[in-house]
Amino acid sequence: MNELIGQLRASLGPGVVLEGPDAQARTHSASGRPLGAPIAVLMPASTRDVSTILRLCHAARQPIVPWGGMTGLVDGCLADGALALSLQRMNRIEEVDPLGATMTVEAGCVLQTVCDVANANGLFFPLDLGARGSATIGGNIATNAGGNRVIRYGMTRDMVLGLEVVLADGTVLSSLNRLIKNNAGYDLKQIFIGSEGTLGIVTRAVLRLRPQPVSQNIAFAAVDAFDRLPRFLRHMERTLGGMLSAFEVMWEDFYMLVTTAPAKGRPPIPHGHPYYVLVEALGGDQADDSARFERALTAALEDGELVDAVIAKSQAERDQMWALRDDVVQLVRNFPIFIFDVSLCIADMEEYVADIRHALAERWPRSTLVVFGHLGDGNLHVIAGVGDASAEARHTVESIVYGALRERGGSISAEHGIGLEKRPYLGWSRGVEEIALMRRLKQMLDPANILNPGKVLAP
């Protein structure tokens, strides 16, 4: 190892290889999740640096774990006994093309920065996450991040036109495509999007931008029966003519949590309803769009799909409504908790939540279950508290949550990836043939198994 560290220092220059206290200071994410104890932390400043690092690590058969904003929740960045590769210094926005509506960025660029620069150029990057101020574009790509506006704009892979990736042996695969339509052979970037750094290291990306919305309309609505939620969703999609950008549903337990002290949020609609919905529409004319939005809500009320609704009348009120949905800090008030990010058909959600709530209560009578999520795209966040943080309790809770999902053909990971935490359950959402093909891809692109080893696929 000393020989490899020496080669890295000689090839990369000062300030790139951090050891000792400098490395140990980086062993926890901003949210406090452990990142393990890496042998050293590498801080490359260019794609050439990344290529050099991987070439030397490949020759030495040395495992290396990529770090982005380290906001993940599935232990995908644990780097015990490995070298950690932080792309923090590779954070430049290289080009904004207003005519082509693209932006070329380095992988370490923070999502919020991308959004701000797009806005400053009259454009819009629609990826929106609670961790927008810390998450990086490289991490978003590596996990195929979703977020709040998938219902209209899709996942991260729908916002990426081209990639530059460094392969395990140091080869630089530069495919910085700027075209929306390009069917010249295999779309190789899709192999790396969502691969969690196990097949290659993303270093640069061409992002697809959209026209900057001129209008934003947001409402909170209360619904008294689950079967009215999908009817309300389809009504808003149809009536708004493509402007619906978010449809966030909160079960009553989550709504109570974020609108009751010590939470700072206050309820825009009184408590006492089983479901609450945040609806957002983005458009091109505030006056016309506001009138259409109000008509759509009024029709839903008159048809009995809603029991109450309130429309934000100012930007401050719009921000306050979104703050309720983003206030996940309140969840840790009942620590220890187990956090799940799952996906399933909307028609199965009511029964699914009831089944896991019942199973948890049978095992732990004082258990809690908090549910919220992007119902419009089938994604729920499920937070279970059973008063026990042991490995045995975790396994039992996982078996309950994922077992009820497995029998309904759902996914154990909607948008957070697999990492280490969900690896034992990958076969509950993917077939034997699918996993076998994943292994063949891994073997082909990383035969020495140095890239984020053990993540996604067991050794």
pLDDT at 409 over 90: yes
pLDDT value of position 29 = 60
Two tokens at 46? 């260019």
**Confidence band for 291, pLDDT divided at 50, 70 and 90:** very high
pLDDT value of position 32 = 60
Structural domain includes residue 445: no
Structural domain includes residue 452: no
Residue 41, φ and ψ in degrees, nearest 5: -110, 125
Range with lowest mean pLDDT among 106-110, 230-234, 328-332, 447-451: 328-332
Q: Is 74 helix (H, G, I), strand (E, B) or coil?
A: coil
Upper half-sphere CA count for residue 124 (Cβ side, 13 Å) = 13
Structural domain includes residue 363: yes
Upper half-sphere CA count for residue 69 (Cβ side, 13 Å) = 27
**Residue that terminates a domain, selected from 312, 328, 344:** 328
pLDDT at 28 over 70: no
Shared domain check, 53 and 137: no
Which domain, by its residues, includes 52? Answer: 2-86
Q: How far is 146 from 129, CA to CA, in rounded Å?
A: 8
pLDDT at 347 over 60: yes
Within the chain, what is the greatest distance between any pair of CA atoms?
74
Number of domains into which the chain is organized: 4
pLDDT at 182 over 70: yes
**CATH number for the domain harbouring residue 265:** 3.30.70.2190
pLDDT at 354 over 70: yes
Report the pLDDT averaged over residues 141-168: 97
**Residue that terminates a domain, selected from 22, 54, 86:** 86
Shared domain check, 102 and 142: yes
pLDDT value of position 168 = 98
**Confidence band for 332, pLDDT divided at 50, 70 and 90:** confident
Shared domain check, 115 and 202: yes
Bridge partners of residue 105, in order along the sequence: 93, 205
pLDDT value of position 331 = 78
Range with lowest mean pLDDT among 22-26, 106-110, 307-311, 392-396: 22-26
Structural domain includes residue 459: no
**Confidence band for 327, pLDDT divided at 50, 70 and 90:** confident
Structural domain includes residue 457: no
Identify the CA nearest to 441 among candidates 190, 85, 93, 148. Answer: 190
Report the pLDDT averaged over residues 155-168: 98
Identify the CA nearest to 430 among candidates 401, 454, 456. Answer: 456
**Confidence band for 137, pLDDT divided at 50, 70 and 90:** very high
Q: Dump pLDDT digits (tens) for 101-131.
A: 999 999 999 999 999 999 999 999 999 988 8
Structural domain includes residue 143: yes
pLDDT value of position 25 = 57
Shared domain check, 99 and 203: yes
Identify the CA nearest to 349 among candidates 381, 307, 388. Answer: 381
Q: How far is CA 136 from CA 68, 152, 350, in A?
A: 6, 22, 34
Structural domain includes residue 440: no
Shared domain check, 119 and 58: no
If you write DSSP's letter for every residue of 152-196 in order, what string do you get?
A: HH--GGGGEEEEEEE-TTS-EEEE----S---SS--THHHHTTST
**Confidence band for 427, pLDDT divided at 50, 70 and 90:** very high
| Helix runs in 61-168, H state only | 111-120, 137-143, 150-153
Q: How far is CA 382 from CA 7, 71, 263, in A?
A: 46, 18, 19
**Residue that terminates a domain, selected from 184, 211, 238:** 211
pLDDT value of position 330 = 80
pLDDT at 85 over 90: yes
Bridge partners of residue 42, in order along the sequence: 17, 85
pLDDT value of position 227 = 97
Q: Is 60 helix (H, G, I), strand (E, B) or coil?
A: helix
Q: Dump pLDDT digits (tens) for 12-23.
A: 989 999 998 766
pLDDT value of position 355 = 98
If you write DSSP's letter for every residue of 313-349 in order, what string do you get?
A: -SHHHHHHHHHHHH-GGGGGGG-S-EEEEEE--HHHH
Q: Which string of b and e fits 250-273 if b means at least 16 CB within 10 Å?
A: bbbebbbbbbeeebebebbbeeeb
**CATH number for the domain harbouring residue 387:** 3.30.70.2740
What size, in residues, is the chain?
A: 459
Upper half-sphere CA count for residue 335 (Cβ side, 13 Å) = 5
pLDDT value of position 282 = 97
Q: Are strands 275-283 and 201-208 parallel, antiparallel or unpaired?
A: unpaired
Inter-residue contact 451 to 198 (CB < 8 Å): yes
- Strand (E) or helix (H) holding 86: strand 83-86
Shared domain check, 205 and 114: yes
Structural domain includes residue 144: yes
pLDDT at 30 over 60: no
Shared domain check, 359 and 292: no
Shared domain check, 155 and 219: no
Report the pLDDT averaged over residues 330-359: 92
**CATH number for the domain harbouring residue 78:** 3.30.43.10
Q: What's 425's DSSP letter?
A: G
Shared domain check, 179 and 125: yes
What is the dihedral sign for C-alpha 32, 35, 40, 45? Answer: negative
Two tokens at 174? 């530069």
pLDDT value of position 130 = 82
Shared domain check, 206 and 100: yes
**Confidence band for 2, pLDDT divided at 50, 70 and 90:** confident
Q: Dump pLDDT digits (tens) for 224-264.
A: 999 999 999 999 999 999 999 999 999 999 999 999 999 99
pLDDT value of position 98 = 97
Give pTM, 2 decimals. 0.94
Two tokens at 138? 């490289």
Shared domain check, 79 and 150: no
Average of per-residue pLDDT values in the chain: 94
**CATH number for the domain harbouring residue 158:** 3.30.465.10
Shared domain check, 202 and 108: yes
Identify the CA nearest to 29 among candidates 83, 64, 75, 63. Answer: 75
Two tokens at 416? 């957070």
Cβ neighbours of residue 21 under 8 Å, at least 6 residues apart?
Answer: none
Q: How far is 117 from 103, CA to CA, in rounded Å?
A: 9
Report the pLDDT averaged over residues 434-438: 98
Q: How far is 345 from 329, CA to CA, in rounded Å?
A: 27
If you write DSSP's letter for every residue of 248-292 in order, what string do you get?
A: EEEEHHHHHHHTSTTSS---SS-S--SEEEEEEEEES-HHHHHHH
Q: How far is 227 from 350, CA to CA, in rounded Å?
A: 8
